Structure 1
Amino acid sequence: MRVLRVLLVVLLAAGGFLFVYVVQWLRERHARGGPIPFSRAHILEHPLRPLIHPQRSTLEKFRFKPGDTVLELGPGIGYFTVEAGRMVGPEGRLLCLDIQPPMIGALRGRLEERNVTNAHPMAGDALNLPLADNSVDAAFLVTVLGEIPDRPRAMGELRRVLRPGGVLSISESLADPDYQLEDSVRDLCRASGFEVLDHSRERLGYTMCFAAP
C-alpha cells in the first residue's frame, strides 16, 4: 500500500507540472506575438522541457562537428548553448544571436559561470544577420522560427551566411505557442533554395535538416 501511495503522489505531482505547463502554453499562445519576453524567460527552463527537447540528443541531430562555426539563432538564456559549445569544441565557434539584449546579458552570465569560452553572445535581428556571407558551417533554430515576423527574409539571410553545403537545422515542438507545421517549414526552406537532408520525428515535434546551396 505504501508503494501505491508513493506512486500516486508521483503521478499527481507529474500531472500538476503538466497542468501548469499547459496553462502557461495557452497563456503564451493567446497573449503574445514575437519572442518570449525576458520577463517570461523562466518558461525556457521548465522542468518538463528535457522530456520534450533533451539537449544532447537534440543537438546531435543538427550535423555540426568539432571545429565548426555554428550559429544558434534565438538562444534565449541558453538552454542549448552550453552543450552546443562543448560539442563544437575549443577549435570551434558558437555564435549566439538573440534580438533581446536582456536575454544576451543572462546568456553571457551563464556562459561565464559554466566556463564556456567558445560561445559568443550577440544582439541582432534574424532579418539582418550581422555576419559575413558564407561565414558559418551550420545554423540551428529550436522553437524560434514562428517568432520571426518575416520568415522568407530570415531564410534568405540564413542562406547568405551559410557556406555552400552548410547545414540549417530547424526543430519544432507542439509545446511551443508558435509551432510551425512540417509542410510549411519544408516549403519555406525549399523556396529559399535549401535541400532537405533529413527529417526526424520525436516527442511532440520534429527536426528537419537542410543543405545550403
Structure 2
Amino acid sequence: MRDPATRIWVRAAVTAAVCCAALLPAASQADARSRTGSELVDCALTGTAHFSPPLSGTARPTTVTVDAALSPCTYTVFAPDGITSGTAKVTLVFSALSCTTSTLDSSASHARFNWNLADGDHTFSRLTGITLTQAIGNGILAGTVTADSPRLAGERAVSVLEVISKQLLTSNCETGGTPVADSTVVADIAFA
C-alpha cells in the first residue's frame, strides 16, 4: 500500500498542475494531434515488472521490463481528443541491480506510451533520459518525452511507484531467498 504522505504529495502536485492548466489557452482542433508543452495528463498505472535475471541480493547487470495499463487518465485540456487511457512498455537497463543497490543506465532505458483518445483515435509518446530514485520496493521514475513524439513532446513525466512482490523483498535480500522474477507495479504518473 502506498504511504499516505506520498499519496497526499502526488495529489497536491496534480492539483497544482490542474490549476496551472486552467490558465493555459486550449489548443485548436487543427493542432490536436501534435500538441506540445501545454497538456497535463495524470494516470494510474498498474502492471507487471519482469526482472532478467531475477532480482536477488547480488548486484548484477539486469534488464527490467514493465508492461502496464494506464487507466483512468485525467486530462486537463478538455478537448474531443483528450487522453483517456493507454498502455506502457518500459525498459530499464541496470549495470548493477540487487534488492539494495541500483545503477540505472539512463541512455539505454526507454519507454513507450500508447494512448487512447476520447474521440476514439490513438497516438503515442516515447520517453528517454529516464532516471530512477529508489528505496526497496518504492521509487520515483522520471524522464522526458522525445521531441519527435506525436503527443506530449518535450514534456516531463514523473511517476511515484511501488513494486509489490509475492515474495518479501527484504527477506529475499537479507536471507538469500528465492530470486524475484516478476512483481506487480502500481504507480501514479503525471506528464506536464
- TM-score (normalizing by structure 1): 0.27
More helix by share: 1
Task: Return the structure number with greater relative CO, CA threshold 8 A, min gap 6.
Answer: 2
More strand by share: 2
